[in-house]
Chains A and B, each alone.
Chain A
Amino acid sequence: MQQLTDEIRAIARKLLRDKQVDVVIGFERGSMPLRRRPCFVRKEEDADRLVWDGWCENTLATYLPKRKEKAAIVAKGCDSRAVVELIKEKQVQRDQIIVIGVPCRGMIDRAQVEASVAPARIAQAEEDPDFEETLRRTGSLHDCCKTCAHPNPVLYDVLAGEPLPQKVQDPFADIEAFNTMKPEERWAYLSREVEKCIRCYACRNACPLCYCPECFVDASLPQWVGKSVDASDTMIFHLMRAYHLAGRCVSCGACERACPVGVDIGKLNRMLLKEVRDLFGYEAGLGLDEKSPMATFRLDDPESFIVNP
């Protein structure tokens, strides 16, 4: 990990020195143990603030839309896929950014690590990829990282480190398992989850693909969904945010991590990703030339859902 940190710093220094970019968007140490956070480096000497390890969980792609300066971004697999989608949706220009791709072994879930040492508190922590005594790294990853099939950036200008082997796994096993539950059980589970929601919109704001200047929740003429934590309105908010992300979500998990009360948002987002894959054969963020599924159609699209009297 230190090697990757050094590489990223070296790349950043060079980019800033050669004035190829105005800012390098990466990660720095946070103000508490196990926290890393986004940082914006504009001077060559500040490049030493940049770090890279298994706690760098934020999705930096969310800082790209509406940015006027030339920017370099440290991008994991999921970040790079978000960048691809943003370029396709014309929120970012390809030649305005330099993608520093970093193959990612998955980000560790801080909450799991803290829970495993509770009631003690972690005063400080360093990461060692070979350390297996207390916790296995793979067991403590964020849920979305556990099922990630794209550890390597799909789009990059320069790659730090070596590409990682692609994992072959079914990212939707939990969705399929959920589908075997009866409808009333599914409704009960999701209602309980959504009951926790306080409508803070952190999920929306952390998402790299939620960039609308006026979100549907802000619309008042007509008001599509009420602003309060009413059970029906809150469910509609989550359903429609997931729906608006259908075929665009890259499973980065930023929404789930941002949520202060732990709503299982990923279930809805990922269910639609599975549908989009099964119905239209599309996965988000893999190709600049692939048309977004909801912006196009095929003459032979599936229509088994159509009712024929």
Chain B
Amino acid sequence: MPFISKILKKERLSGFLERLVRDRQVFAPVKKGEVILIREIDSPSQVILEYRNAKESPKSVFFPQRETLFRYRAEKGKAEVDVPSGAGKGRVLFGIRPCDARGLLLLDKVFGGGSSDPYYTDKRSSMVVVSLGCVDPNPSCFCLSMGGGPCSAEGSDLLLLDLGDRYIAQAESEKGVALLEDQAFEKSDEKSLSLAEKTRKQAEASMQPVAKKANLEQELERLFSDPVWKDLAESCLSCGICTYLCPTCHCFDLCDEASGQAGERIRVWDSCQFPLFTQQASGFNPRPTVKERFRQRIMHKLSYLPKSQSMTGCVGCGRCVTECPVNLDIREVMVSLSEGNER
């Protein structure tokens, strides 16, 4: 993939978005009340780009909280089953952060791969991802420590970086190159390229590294029965916010909602943090307390997923840290478990 970058002057952004909205569905950060969320837009004026990060991750664009898998209707002894049709025109996910784009790669492995999930892959394959690099990361961000970075292009088709009066746009795929054909983009120059590099280095330098051991994911298996988990998890409320807002969490439940002789099977988000997540029909629950559930989440993200999918389950977006009502901090957990290596 040859390195192609162009310049997008800020005053031209609106025109670019107008043309995108005309031909495709565009999803971008918008303000809903006090909160920034990723939603479909119909006008560039709705887009907010001066923002830290959206409350919810963009996973809900591909893996919504509620998805109809099929509908059925039974009449006179016959049943009709009807699967919703796929995404129509092309789609663009605009202005998300690099951590979230990287998170999509993990979801691609889970929902793609051998037995792929058509509901996800259909939405994903028609989507072009345009991310906006972070010039000024939050104190709660730690993407760099998780193998990503504030200006990482992993998972993006096009990466934009704010250089003040203009963006520099770097294409990472054929889809990204195609977007750069738009009239809003002009040739880039050495000055912009070196400013971009400087910006990236500054952003990375501003981040506090997490003091975890390099081989933590190997060590975690050994630490499964360590008593430290009880202390780490004690204040957890099992509320599920961490999993719902996480860009890589993907557990779900299937429910049938019937109304007489018609109904639909839907998929809804579930959470390993919910107390009844592992409740068995016998009444036994292998994860009866917060300790087991909290440990499960950490192990899944930092140990099981890296083993099975060769990729970290945590992209360091920091949402679970800022939104946890009791300020449970996965970074502190990693540090604590790393120190535990000496135990």
- Please indicate which of the listed interface residues A38, A111, A260 has the most CB atoms of chain B within 10 Å of its own CB: A260
| Tally of chain A residues near chain B (CB < 8 A) | 41
A226 interface neighbour in B255, B328, B331, Cβ under 8 Å:
B255
B240 interface neighbour in A38, A119, A205, A257, Cβ under 8 Å:
A205
The minimal Cβ–Cβ distance linking B39 to chain A, given in whole angstroms, is: 11
The minimal Cβ–Cβ distance linking A175 to chain B, given in whole angstroms, is: 20
The minimal Cβ–Cβ distance linking B290 to chain A, given in whole angstroms, is: 10
CB contacts between A and B, total, < 8 Å: 103
Q: Which of B254-296 contact A (CB under 8 A)?
A: 255, 257, 266, 268-269, 271, 274-276
Q: Which chain A residue has the least Cβ–Cβ distance from B56?
A: A198
Do residues B269 and A199 form an inter-chain contact, with CB atoms below 8 A? yes
The minimal Cβ–Cβ distance linking B10 to chain A, given in whole angstroms, is: 17
**How distant is the Cα of A206 from the Cα of B327 in the complex, in angstroms?**
13
Say yes or no: is B116 at the interface (Cβ < 8 Å to chain A).
no
Say yes or no: is B186 at the interface (Cβ < 8 Å to chain A).
no
- Please indicate which of the listed interface residues A63, A227, A229, A230 has the most CB atoms of chain B within 10 Å of its own CB: A227
Say yes or no: is A214 at the interface (Cβ < 8 Å to chain B).
yes
Chain A residues near B275 (CB-CB < 8 A)? 213
Do residues B240 and A200 form an inter-chain contact, with CB atoms below 8 A? yes
Say yes or no: is A267 at the interface (Cβ < 8 Å to chain B).
no
B239 interface neighbour in A31, A63, A205, A226, Cβ under 8 Å:
A205
Say yes or no: is B110 at the interface (Cβ < 8 Å to chain A).
no
Do residues B33 and A227 form an inter-chain contact, with CB atoms below 8 A? no
Say yes or no: is A236 at the interface (Cβ < 8 Å to chain B).
no
Say yes or no: is B27 at the interface (Cβ < 8 Å to chain A).
no
**How distant is the Cα of A228 from the Cα of B268 in the complex, in angstroms?**
6
Main secondary structure of the interface of A (DSSP, over half): loop
B326 interface neighbour in A58, A200, A261, Cβ under 8 Å:
A58
Chain B residues near A88 (CB-CB < 8 A)? none
Chain B residues near A119 (CB-CB < 8 A)? 50
Do residues B331 and A31 form an inter-chain contact, with CB atoms below 8 A? yes
Chain B residues near A228 (CB-CB < 8 A)? 65-66, 255, 266, 268
The minimal Cβ–Cβ distance linking B205 to chain A, given in whole angstroms, is: 17
Do residues A262 and B255 form an inter-chain contact, with CB atoms below 8 A? no
**How distant is the Cα of A90 from the Cα of B34 in the complex, in angstroms?**
39
**How distant is the Cα of A206 from the Cα of B325 in the complex, in angstroms?**
8
Do residues B331 and A261 form an inter-chain contact, with CB atoms below 8 A? no
**How distant is the Cα of A110 from the Cα of B35 in the complex, in angstroms?**
15
Do residues A260 and B321 form an inter-chain contact, with CB atoms below 8 A? no
The minimal Cβ–Cβ distance linking A18 to chain B, given in whole angstroms, is: 23
B241 interface neighbour in A202, A227, A229, A230, Cβ under 8 Å:
A202
Proximity string of chain A (171-184) to chain B, C-beta cutoff 8 Å, 1 when within and 0 when not: 00000000000000
Q: List 16 A-B contacts (CB under 8 A).
A: A31-B327, A32-B139, A32-B327, A37-B326, A111-B34, A196-B35, A199-B269, A202-B239, A205-B239, A206-B237, A206-B325, A226-B255, A227-B268, A229-B268, A258-B325, A262-B34
Supplied contacts A31-B327, A58-B326, 7 more A-B pairs, CB within 8 Å:
A32-B327, A39-B235, A121-B139, A196-B32, A200-B244, A214-B276, A260-B56
Interface residues of B (CB under 8 A from A): 32-35, 37, 50, 55-56, 65-66, 138-140, 231, 234-235, 237-241, 244-245, 253, 255, 257, 266, 268-269, 271, 274-276, 321-323, 325-329, 331-332
